[in-house]
Chain A
Amino acid sequence: MPALVVLLLTAAAVAASVGAVRISPSGAAGALGRRLGLVTGPTGQADAVLFGIRLPRIVLGAVVGGALGTAGAVLQSVFRNPLADPQLVGIGPGAALAAAAGAALGGVGGSLSAGVVGGMLTALVVRRLGRRVAEADPTRLLLAGIALGAVLSAWVGFIVFGSDRSLVPPIEFWLLGSLSGSTWEVTTTASVVVCATALGLWASWRRLDLLVLGRREARHLGVDVDLVTTMVMLATGAMVGAAVGAAGVVGFAGLVGPHLVRPFSGPGHRRLIPAAALAGATFVVLADVVARTALSPIEIPAGLVTAALGGPVLLWLIARRNARAT
């Protein structure tokens, strides 16, 4: 766990220094010291870039990645399905639809809160889908999620193309995901929602552990399975909704985060949730560095990078399942 914290801080430091304006580590440290009042000195361009642009973006990347990593870990347990990912099962597109509608009606503020509501509602739909279609075969949840996601994404497109371009971010922001919309206002709001829901889920680690035994077994051991599942799905939906409202559907962090750390953290949620959150956060922060610098000065959506890196992880998971089944 300390190693994951160091990794995330290192990624953040790298992200803080690279970009159109290079800031050396010492320059960044100096700017941070000045901001905190530890040292005095003249502020310069580095300070403005660091605090006005890069820091909110890095924090938002960490918050989005942390939310997706946490949500992935939780969904994989609730559905007892290693392929469950908040975006792939359709929660992300549902949140994006609501967030795009919110943006059309109320600008940035409307986008985030609508995203949270949309995420929660879609999470409840996905819960029903999971019960109906996916009890027997884990891959069916993914198929249902893809179908649901396709419909919802199409509606995102209708809203984007049908509304005022100055209010609603473009389609690639929503469907690919990007941290380009980061401001302190967006970052702070998203952080509050994500941290609150993540803490709530983490506090439920014992019940989430029991759900892994199976719904019936969990009930035999005293868990009100229906109530717990509903609360967990609502929290997950809100968390993913905040992430999507702020940064669109950034893919695969919910698969990469949990699966990367599970060999070290073990299956227990007390360690798995924070580890998956940290890994997801590091993944998205680093992906955004690549997104900002790979084709510089052009910036590409961070979701392209996470998909390029995370897609193979999904393929590997599917291949591994087949290997075990035969």
Chain B
Amino acid sequence: MTLLLEARNLGYGADGTRIVADVDLAVAAGEMVAVIGPNGAGKSTLIGMLSGDLRPSTGWTRLLGDELVDLDPLQMALRRAVVPQHVTADIPFSVHTVVEMGRHPHQVTGTTSPDEDRAAVDAALATFDMADRSRLPFSALSSGEQRRTALARAMAQDVPLLLLDEPAAALDIGHQEQVMRVLREWKDARRAVVAVLHDLNLAAAHADRIVVLHRGSVAAEGRPGDVLTTDLLEAVYRQPMRVVRHPTRDCPLLIVVD
């Protein structure tokens, strides 16, 4: 089992007002890790540090063995793809062109051929149900379609690690399931996914491991069945909840109660 991502003692923000503090995280190939937690828990900040957007004030992150600070943008782009929470909307390029931009790191290094690019782009468009809209300008899409296009771009980038900030936000329930299924099938012996998820049942059903972030620190970590307990959830979310077995799936089901 190789570690794709390893973070130690990550912290962000000034002393006393840390947005994230003392986070350790290790992600192995073949894993899908969900990061959950209430608003303001530091989820996006954590993803920002892991993707190299934010420089942590403490700790370090290793991406496939090398520390992030030692990697240039191109080296990072050959190892991880990122889909941020807010996708820039007013992009004049066509869906096809936007997805093709995911091939840029490989084109720059000359490790791909036009045929390979075309195959990767077509496969990514088909996977996320965007093939029939590929000629439309990105700016003309609905926000859910824009998100699926951004996911297709990350998939076309064809790298070992996907870092996703709320990949299922703005998607209808059918596409939510589809996206999570795609991600689960995508991870394999050399690839992994780290996703911030707001929908706890989506995390419960699809993640191999859940990291619960609360006030910038890890409150719990483990398999969904072990982590998602009434006590922990009520303490973190301040909302009465009930955890039951999913009627058809082998995972917990969370229900909000009064």
Interface residues of A (CB under 8 A from B): 80, 206, 209-210, 212-214, 216-217, 219-225, 266-268
Residue of A80, A214, A219, A267 near B73 (CB, 8 A) is: A219
Answer whether A223 and B73 are a contact pair too, CB < 8 Å, given A206-B107, A209-B101.
Answer: yes
CA distance A266 to B76 in the complex (A): 30
A77 to chain B, nearest CB (A): 10
In the complex formed, the residue of B with least CB distance to A222 is: B77
State whether B77 touches A267 (Cβ < 8 A).
no
State whether B101 touches A210 (Cβ < 8 A).
yes
A226 to chain B, nearest CB (A): 9
State whether B53 touches A216 (Cβ < 8 A).
yes
CA distance A267 to B81 in the complex (A): 24
Answer whether A221 and B53 are a contact pair too, CB < 8 Å, given A212-B92, A267-B92.
Answer: no
State whether B101 touches A224 (Cβ < 8 A).
no
State whether B104 touches A210 (Cβ < 8 A).
yes
Give every chain B residue within 8 A of A209 (Cβ-Cβ).
Answer: 93, 97, 101
State whether A213 touches B98 (Cβ < 8 A).
yes
Supply 10 further A-B pairs (C-beta < 8 A) apart from A210-B104, A268-B93. A213-B88, A220-B76, A221-B104, A222-B78, A222-B105, A223-B73, A223-B104, A224-B74, A225-B73, A268-B97
A17 to chain B, nearest CB (A): 39
For residues 136 through 180 of chain B, which have their beta carbon under 8 Å from a beta carbon of chain A?
157
B249 to chain A, nearest CB (A): 33
B51 at interface, CB cutoff 8 A:
yes
Sorting the interface of chain B by its residue count into under 10, 10 to 19, 20 to 34 or 35 or more gives 20 to 34
Interface string of B72-99 (1 = CB under 8 A from A): 1110111001101000101111000110
CA distance A222 to B107 in the complex (A): 11
State whether B93 touches A267 (Cβ < 8 A).
yes
State whether B91 touches A221 (Cβ < 8 A).
no
CA distance A212 to B74 in the complex (A): 18
B102 at interface, CB cutoff 8 A:
yes
6 CB < 8 A contacts A-B: A219-B53, A220-B81, A220-B84, A222-B73, A222-B74, A224-B74
Residue pairs across A and B with CB atoms within 8 Å: the count is: 56
State whether B93 touches A212 (Cβ < 8 A).
yes
Answer whether A221 and B88 are a contact pair too, CB < 8 Å, given A216-B53, A268-B93, A268-B97.
Answer: no
CA distance A213 to B76 in the complex (A): 18
CA distance A223 to B105 in the complex (A): 8
B156 to chain A, nearest CB (A): 10
Give every chain B residue within 8 A of A206 (Cβ-Cβ).
Answer: 104, 107
State whether B88 touches A222 (Cβ < 8 A).
no
State whether B107 touches A221 (Cβ < 8 A).
no
In the complex formed, the residue of B with least CB distance to A227 is: B73
B108 at interface, CB cutoff 8 A:
yes
Q: Which 7 A-B pairs have the closest CB atoms?
A: A222-B77, A267-B92, A222-B105, A222-B74, A214-B88, A220-B82, A221-B104
Give every chain B residue within 8 A of A213 (Cβ-Cβ).
Answer: 88, 91, 93, 98, 101
State whether B88 touches A217 (Cβ < 8 A).
yes
Answer whether A224 and B72 are a contact pair too, CB < 8 Å, given A212-B93, A217-B88.
Answer: yes
CA distance A221 to B78 in the complex (A): 8
A23 to chain B, nearest CB (A): 43
Residue of B72, B77, B92, B98 near A220 (CB, 8 A) is: B77
Give every chain B residue within 8 A of A267 (Cβ-Cβ).
Answer: 92-93
Interface string of B95-120 (1 = CB under 8 A from A): 00110011011011000000000000
- Which of B52, B81, B108 has the most CB atoms of chain A within a 10 A radius of its CB? B108
State whether B93 touches A221 (Cβ < 8 A).
no
Give every chain A residue within 8 A of B77 (Cβ-Cβ).
Answer: 220-222
A152 to chain B, nearest CB (A): 31
State whether B81 touches A222 (Cβ < 8 A).
no
In the complex formed, the residue of A with least CB distance to B98 is: A213
B100 to chain A, nearest CB (A): 10
Give every chain B residue within 8 A of A222 (Cβ-Cβ).
Answer: 73-74, 76-78, 104-105, 108
CA distance A219 to B73 in the complex (A): 6
